Every structure is written in C-alpha cells, then in structure tokens.
Amino acid sequence: MTTLYDVRRGMAGTIVGLPSGAELRSQCIRLGLMIGASFQCLERLPGGTIVLETHRQEIALGNALAREIEVVMEKE
C-alpha cells in the first residue's frame, strides 16, 4: 500500500483512501483531500511532513496523517 508518506517531491498522484478517524476524514474532505482528488507533491520534509497542491491549493500534512492517506502514483 502506498501512502502520502511515500510520496517524493515533484510526484503526482490520486488519493484512494482516507484516514480512519471520522473527524479527521471530514476535515480532509473540507480541504479537498478526498477520494479521487489528484495532487502534486510540492515538498517532502525530512521525517515525512508533506506539502501538496490539489485544486490550486497548498496543504501541509504531518507525517502521521500522511501515513494514513492512501494514494496511487502517476506513472512517469
């Protein structure tokens, strides 16, 4: 299973699974992080804090959250 945690800077992909906590999931959806949303990784900091762009919007996620979001990477 690939998660946002495994994504590297510059990669693009699609979200296919959200975190298990209901509240966290709702908060993600509000920001546009939902199943089917495509994203591009703008930065990955050491330790796994991820900054991505989806729908022209930059979002930062802590590593614990990144590990809970399942993704499919685009082929280069």
Partner 1 sequence: MNDRSQPSSEDLTDVMPHAAHRHVDSSAMRFMGSDKKKLVLVGNPNVGKSVFFNHLTGLYVDVSNFPGTTVEVSHGHHPKFAVFDTPGIYGVSSFNDEERVARDIILEADIVLNVVDAVHLERDLFLTLQLIDMGKKMVVCLNMMDEAKLRGLTIDVEELSNRLGVPVLPTTAIHRTGFDGLDQHIAQACTGTSDSRLHRQLHDLLNRVGSQEEALMVLEGDSVIAERHGIEPGDERELIYVERRNRVNRILDRVVTVSEQKRTLAHTLGRISISPRWGLPFLLVVLYGLYLFVGSFIAQDVVGFTEKTIGDRIFEPFVKDQVARIAAVDITVEKIGLDAAGKETTLGSRVFSFPDGTGSNGNLKDEMSKYRDGGTNNLHYDFKSPVAVVFFGEFGAFSMTVTYLLFLLLPLVLGFYVSLSILEDSGYLPRLATFVDRSLNGLGLNGRAIIPLILGFGCVTMATITTRLLGSDREKRIATTILQFAIPCSAQLAVIAALLATAGVKATLIYAAVIFTVFIAIGTALDKALPGTSSPLLLDLPPMRLPRAGNVLQKTWTRTLSFMKEATPWFFVGALAVSVMQVTGVLDSWTKLLSPVTTGWLKLPAEASTAFVMGLVRRDFGAAGLYQMHLTPMQVVVALTTITLFVPCIASLMVMIKERGAREGLVIWAGSWVLAFGIGGLVALAVL
Distance CA 54, CA 59 (A): 8
State the burial class of residue 76 (Cβ atoms within 10 Å of its Cβ: 0-12, 13-18, 19+): exposed
Half-sphere exposure of 55 (CA within 13 A, CB side): 9
* Shortest Å, Cβ 72 to partner 1: 18
* Shortest Å, Cβ 55 to partner 1: 4
Q: What does the binding site for partner 1 look like in residue numbers (CB under 8 A)?
A: 22-32, 34-35, 42-49, 51, 55-65
Residue with Cβ nearer partner 1 (65 or 75): 65
Q: Hey, is 5 helix, strand or coil?
A: helix
Residue with Cβ nearer partner 1 (11 or 42): 42
Residue with Cβ nearer partner 1 (55 or 72): 55
